[in-house]
Structure 1
């Protein structure tokens, strides 16, 4: 099996390449320069004969959302996906599968959403996700399209968790804002296994939630992590502090979604880490 991946140097990309290679797949990184117009022949050569293409490209959202950073966040997702889809559609021999990630940040921060329903938010991240997914949906109907909407990916060696755990290690952990904001998450091991499940399950199509089934919020996460790490919860950090520090991007921390993985459960996927307690126990060891 031949699989090509954008975003291969990112946190998820590095894990996924190792995982797929260990499964026996031939994995090829789509380098950034291959996505330039004058390098199209190299991209076509790489994509020809691929069984699957996985699109993970996207600049980090963990920054102050200045005008230039917003443009970078948007272009790195939307323009990359547009060009990749256009190129795939031109191939004489197209891949069977195109996986193009998105995020649960597309949803409003009220209620609990499954793939069968959901109200989209009106903020910056949601608008990026909507445009991002719209470009992916322009893929040829001959190609099976799956759009995994990712929650917060938890891992010991990258992503959000090491930064989230640091205050607790320093005895400075605490509740953020109201604590009621949703915290939809997934352990990296489950995410990798879900990608493999998608690749090998032809019936999985369209949007799919890559989040653990347990409904979690900031309070549940905070007190579970405190208990497992044997640390107190002294602090309460109000929303306005984050708005002063990070501006508009504070919404990543002070707002959140509650998302249910209906499709994965319907297809019989068994989570290794269905609850935050089991995930945090593994991450803290």
Structure 2
């Protein structure tokens, strides 16, 4: 029998990769989004019909965090995650034959800025601020209520790398000689940003903030592994077992594109640049030190465990295309 997999929020880089891979295997893949194509947000009855009898539900819906965290964007980042998750939960509850497994996207940003030790599912400490509030609200909504026929797993994903990911603009910077480390430092905070939890407090210097990552092939591989392990539920870190740091990551990028040197970006440069580009310094300055304890202890074998080889593969793939 052909698998029926439903992806919510499939229009992004990760969703497109998963959908293409599963369709290539012969699975029936349906999509839920703002404009369909198989069901639309707000039409809970149509979503319920789509999910009834499905084998797997994967929810990746949510506004991109690559934006400026003003009031309107903060509200939409939160709403687009919590409300869609609530609607899916109501639809799953209404199914006569609900999906046996529901994987809901979360984020490794839920953990605190970590320079002292890695954050695992069992020992990790949650952080503070707007991004953490979003992640905790998202997971709380996901695990709310009883769904007796459905196993639920929240995927705390590190930065996902692949052809089309956040790595692409960084490679472009490296090619023009701007591929140095992102250097943290002091920066004044306004009362509004402190109140909103969007000010990045100074952390590791010298580009030593940790960089946790996972190749998109291992997102797919981890999902395959989770489907085979019915005993696993709750939260699972999706990240390489070998995190890097910002300075090392940028050096790997420079080598991959054949540019030997790159100018560093100091905090004041980053603050001005992100204001112009309408994004946030937290995305490059927060030290994310995340380790996939449950995947490793469960025996999952990573396709791309090391950053250097993963970046080379991505660059080679882009050149082929």
Partner Cα distance (1:100, 1:108) in 2: 21
User: Contact (CA 8 Å) 1:173, 1:232: kept in 2 or not?
Assistant: no
Query: Using the alignment, how far apart are the partners of 1:212 and 1:36 within structure 2?
Result: 33
| 2:236 pairs with 1:208 | yes
Count residues with an aligned counterpart: 283
Shift of 1:201: 2.2
Distance 2:270 2:10 in 1: 31
The answer as to 2:271 corresponding to 1:269 is: no
* Matching residue of 1:165: 171
How far apart are residue 278 of structure 1 and its match?
0.8
Question: Using the alignment, how far apart are the partners of 1:89 and 1:240 within structure 2?
Answer: 50
What RMSD in Å do the two structures reach over aligned CA positions? 1.6
TM-score calculated relative to the size of structure 2: 0.84
Unaligned runs of 5+ in 1: none
Matches within 5 A, 1:161-240: 161-177=167-183, 178=205, 179-240=207-268
Corresponding residue SS for 1:175: coil
1:118 aligns with 2:133: no
Q: CA deviation at 1:163?
A: 0.7
- Which residue of the partner structure matches residue 44 of structure 2? 40
Deviation string, structure 1 residues 47-81 (Cα, Å, up to 9, x no partner): 11111111010111111111111111111111110
Q: Does the 8 Å contact 2:32/2:41 carry over to 1? A: no
1:70-89 matches, cutoff 5 A: 70-89=74-93
Specify the alignment match of 1:23 in structure 2: 25
- 1:99 is aligned to 103
Give 1:40 deviation, angstroms: 2.2
| In 1: Cα distance, 2:272 partner to 2:148 partner | 46
- CA drift at 1:114: 0.8
DSSP-derived class of the 1:159 partner? coil
Q: Distance in 2 between matches of 1:133 and 1:174?
A: 35
- Distance in 2, Cα, partners of 1:117 & 1:23: 37
Cα distance in 2 for partners of 1:164, 1:198 equals 31
Contact persistence 1:105–1:126 (CA under 8 A):
yes
Q: Match for residue 53 of structure 1?
A: 57
**Matches of 1:267 and 1:2 in 2, distance apart?**
26
CA contact (8 A) 1:35 1:80 kept: no
Q: Does 2:152 match 1:145?
A: yes
- TM normalised by structure 1 equals 0.94
Q: 3-state DSSP class of the match of 1:145? A: strand
Note the residue ranges of structure 2 that are not aligned, 5 or more in a row: 184-204, 317-321
User: Corresponding residue for 2:6?
Assistant: 4
Give the deviation of 1:35 after TM superposition.
4.8
The one-character-per-residue Cα deviations of 1:236-272 (angstroms, maximum 9, x if unpaired) are 2112322233358211111131101111111111111
Q: Does the residue aligned with 2:268 lie in a helix, a strand or coil? A: helix
Please state how far the C-alpha of 1:92 moved relative to its aligned partner.
2.3
Q: Distance in 1 between matches of 2:248 and 2:262?
A: 15
**In structure 2, C-alpha distance between the alignment counterparts of 1:265 and 1:201, rounded to whole Å:** 13
